Homo-oligomer: A and B are copies of this chain.
Amino acid sequence: MSREPRTAIATVCLSGALEDKLPAAAAAGFDGVEIFEPDLVASPMPPGEVRLRCADLGLSIDLYQPFRDLDSTDPERFAANLRRAEHKFGVMEALGTDTVLVCSSVAPDAVADVDLLAEQLHALAERAAARGLRIAYEALAWGRHVNTYDRSWEAVRRADHPALGLCLDSFHILSRGSDPAAIADIPGDKLFFLQLADAPHLSMDVLQWSRHHRLFPGQGAFDLPGFLAPVLAAGYTGPLSLEVFNDVFRQADPARAAVDAHRSLLALAEATAARGEGADPVAEAAPELHGHAFVELSADESLAPVLAALGFARTGLHRTKPVERWEQGAARILVNRSGGPVAVAALAVESADPPAAARRATRLSAPVLPRERGPAEADLAAVTAPDGTALFFCRTGARAVEGADWTGDFVPTGETAADDGAGIGVTGIDHVGLAQPFDHFDEATLFYRTVLGLEPDATGEFAAPFGLVRSRAVVDAQRRVRLALTVSLLRRGEWAPGVSEPQYVALAVDDVLAAARAARAAGAPLLAIPDNYYADLDARLALSKDRLAAYRDLGVLHEETAGGAYLQVCTEVLGGRVFLALVQRVGDHDGYGWTDAPVRMAAHRRRRLARERVRA
């Protein structure tokens, strides 16, 4: 019988966390694995434990990857990159793997001159060799200067260092149509690693774009008011008609999709009228928003102690319903103890003109929410958002606007929070995160954009432990109301059914370390973040030892951008699908911490599995 080839698989090929992937690879008969850095960073296993786990499973660790953007025309940047590499060499020693994948750079400062590139690769190889390690250099198909295997070979050949060789990836080579025949002429001992992938021939030409990815006006990136204006100026008198080929709409409830579609045309007509073409708008303009009025959470008994530990005070009890008002700074959370798992039941925004906001929402076909109400209660205008969340228009404290103040519905308990020092520094609600049903993500974006007059903000996509998640934020012009919407791009699989991305309320603080310390001292269930995350943070950002120790101690996630940083500490998921986060924005950071979302999601999942194990 013949010999089986030695086989390996990159952990990125498989779903789940490292704890799922390693036994799956071993059971399938693989001899080794490539450890993909984000899998390690999100794992609670220190590298040495990963090494032992693999050894137990009979798996070698054949590669650690990737190390990106090594070379640089900026000597200072190159020095920082070497420092980062030394950190990763330490990780490799602990893993017990001797080869690291270095991809060709995609950065603007990537080195074009092949001799300088060879020199920098030589310097890296020299450091690797000193620790018994070696560098496999790979041409990414979209590398800035090095994007074919012959260019990567040219650099490696010139660098001429025994600890430096090539990694060949079939995708990068065949996707560009390169002829692989000349590979046979490269010395075999310079081929350090081989990565294999197949792919269908794909091109997102305009035909595919058109047939699968069209959206209703206001859901995409086109300037449609700028398109409609000249058409109306020409004298077109026919209907505004939608022709939208979209894979998601093709399988969603047509009654819902039609409402969404019709709303998009009313909003388009409004936006075009604002440019002076077409009839007057059909709805009143969206009144200005002044912030989040409250978030209502349906809850069981587990929530109240957590709110208390986070410095909230129970300031009021509803006159007729099992609803409590909790407050700290400008953050107000209503706890609806009607039971059921913890979930966001309602959002309320502060509106300059709640009745006008409600009329606009109705005009835009937002489903009006029937509401039972006792004789002394506020007649809050409310509609239902696409994910079923109730949306209230309030003007807290303005008793002159009929029905817009809601505080009178609550009997004060006499408790106060921040005023008497019991708070932990929460100043208000930064934003609310809402995972959307797969069929209604684009609908939700348009709903908030049109009904509340919000504008699309950041968008993103990240690889969560159970698959890709797409994010889109909507904000008002003053950034006082922010919503972060997410959706699983392929719906949940049979392997990982149910909720993958929980809802959350991000609470604004000025000092996340102080707030988290106080919360933990009071018993708040803060989410532990793996050490590997901080080792990587250290390699990337060179934070002070003290700061890093505090982060590690409290579970701070730190997203750094050119403009500033987004620091957050999350609680565990609280008895349902909601967690709370303490969020500090530093400098001009205007994002939502999505870079850290996969790490946070893996940590939440780990906690859930641990709880389930305890129960079982």
| Interface residues in chain A, defined as those with a beta carbon under 8 Å from any beta carbon in chain B | 1-10, 12-16, 20-21, 23-25, 27-32, 34, 62-63, 141-142, 168-176, 180-189, 191-210, 212-224, 226-231, 233-259, 261-262, 264-266, 268-269, 278-282, 365, 437-439, 463, 466-468, 488-496
Contacts and interface: CB of A to CB of B under 8 A. Distances in A.
Contacts of A182: 230
A175 B269 contact: no
Contact of A234 (B183, B251, B489): B183
Contacts of A198: 214-222, 224, 244, 264
B231 A183 contact: yes
Contacts of A240: 5-8, 194, 196
A494 B437 contact: yes
Contacts of A181: 230
* Most-contacted residue by chain B among A183, A227, A229, A488 (CB, 10 A): A227
The secondary-structure label for the interface of chain A is mixed
Contacts of A15: 249-254, 257
A93 B112 CA distance: 66
Contact of A261 (B9, B195, B231): B9
B4 A188 contact: no
8 contacts: A6-B238, A62-B239, A174-B227, A180-B226, A183-B234, A185-B234, A199-B209, A439-B494
**List of 9 A-B pairs having minimum Cβ-Cβ separation, nearest first:** A188-B235, A204-B204, A251-B467, A198-B220, A2-B280, A28-B258, A8-B241, A14-B254, A253-B495
A533 B357 CA distance: 49
A282 B184 contact: no
A466 B251 contact: yes
Contacts of A249: 13-15
A239 B34 CA distance: 11
Given A173-B227, A198-B215, A188 B234 contact: yes
Given A14-B257, A201-B221, 12 more contacts: A2-B280, A12-B245, A175-B206, A183-B230, A183-B233, A184-B234, A187-B234, A196-B228, A198-B244, A199-B209, A250-B466, A254-B495
A235 B176 CA distance: 24
Contact of A282 (B4, B258, B259): B4
Contacts of A231: 168, 180, 183-184, 191, 194
Nearest to A203: B204
A25 B258 CA distance: 5
B204 A28 contact: no
Contacts of A259: 27-29
Given A242-B8, A258-B14, A438 B493 contact: yes
B14 A239 contact: no
A21 B234 contact: no
A234 B192 CA distance: 12
A156 to B, nearest CB: 13
A181 to B, nearest CB: 5
A164 to B, nearest CB: 15
A468 B247 contact: yes
A502 to B, nearest CB: 17
A217 B198 CA distance: 5
Nearest to A280: B2
* Most-contacted residue by chain B among A241, A246, A264 (CB, 10 A): A241
Contacts of A192: 238
Given A2-B281, A258-B27, A280-B2, A221 B200 contact: yes
A248 B491 CA distance: 10
A248 B492 CA distance: 10
A29 B199 contact: no
A391 B133 CA distance: 48
A284 to B, nearest CB: 9
